[in-house]
Chain A
Amino acid sequence: KAGVTQTPRYLIKTRGQQVTLSCSPISGHRSVSWYQQTPGQGLQFLFEYFSETQRNKGNFPGRFSGRQFSNSRSEMNVSTLELGDSALYLCASSLEPAGTGELFFGEGSRLTVL
């Protein structure tokens, strides 16, 4: 059974640019949640999608957005990149909503903003 796949694994952008990250969940999982991990703040919840609907959003500015497609694949977008957006972005899939279902994480997309 294939795991959670995130692409790209590494990317470098400059301030002001935008970036789109992709997450393919485990087959049959309807929940995809996104997280930002930095050395200073640790893991922080960005948002969760369940059956194409955003269920929850963390305390991040509107520059962070996402969507989920009918095949459960999800994308997140960050516009007008800032230096502080440099982080490891992780997605996780689960059968149930993220708070109550076992989470399966991808390897992450490491974003560096110069």
Chain B
Amino acid sequence: QSVLTQPPSASGIPGQTVTISCSGGSSNIGSNYVYWYRQYPGTAPKVVIYKTYQRPSGVPDRFSGSKSGTSASLAISGLRSEDEADYYCASWEDSLRGPVFGGGTKLTVL
């Protein structure tokens, strides 16, 4: 049981916008930054959004992050086949003094 809650799956067609949600609490998302990671099978995760809204260099502006209260979202616009992957949200958990993760969302591009 993950501390942060994500839908297990999401899907969209090429060109569409898909949004993945991440729900937490006041001691994690509510008071700390949110990070989003993309993971292809058999490879390490890679950050696509850090500090809730920031995109690392090399990540296209089709990726955007947002937060409201104790929930966060990752939006991917102009969906492409290479976006098909697992996506994880993460945030610092004050009570744990460590990061917590969502269970992951498998994104399928139809």
**A and B bound?**
no
Residues of A within 8 A of B (CB): none
Residues of B within 8 A of A (CB): none
